[in-house]
Amino acid sequence: MTEKSELSQIIEPLRSQFMIMKECLVCKSKLTDKNIKIVSEENSSYMFHLQCHKCDNALVLLASINEIGVGIVGMMSDLTFEDAKKMHKKEVIDEDFLLDAYQTLYKISFNKYLNLK
């Protein structure tokens, strides 16, 4: 129950001030706290996962709260809560990874070319 009240504490001000997280953007069904989960929480920045119980559409919402104000970005998504959590934990792709990926793909396509000849 503590988790739910913590969620409500964050969500309620956003709901009342910004009219978000109240209803599904697609079918307009009313969203309850059960439809909303926190993917991550860091320095007053939150990533929420909202899933409609009726049409199953999901929304990933980023909310950043600081002394200047509140920034909110939302995107429709087909990610499940578990997917969103996994994606969030993934490390940023760096140049080494990109180069490795390029070289691997290059080798595969080069070998294919040789086999065809």
Tokens of 91: 């490390």
Tokens of 111: 């070998």
> In DSSP terms, which residues pair with 72 in a beta bridge?
63
Query: Cβ closer to Zn ion: 29 or 64?
Result: 29
CB of 92 to Zn ion, least distance (A): 32
Q: How far apart are CA 49 and CA 35, in angstroms?
A: 8
Query: Cβ closer to Zn ion: 14 or 24?
Result: 24
Q: How far apart are CA 47 and CA 11, in angstroms?
A: 11
CB of 26 to Zn ion, least distance (A): 5
Q: How far apart are CA 97 and CA 102, in angstroms?
A: 9
Query: Cβ closer to Zn ion: 65 or 81?
Result: 81
Q: Is residue 68 helix, strand or coil?
A: coil
CB of 24 to Zn ion, least distance (A): 3
Q: How far apart are CA 31 and CA 106, in angstroms?
A: 48
Query: Cβ closer to Zn ion: 53 or 86?
Result: 53
CB of 83 to Zn ion, least distance (A): 18
Residues that bind Zn ion (CB under 5 A): 24, 26-27, 29, 52, 54-55
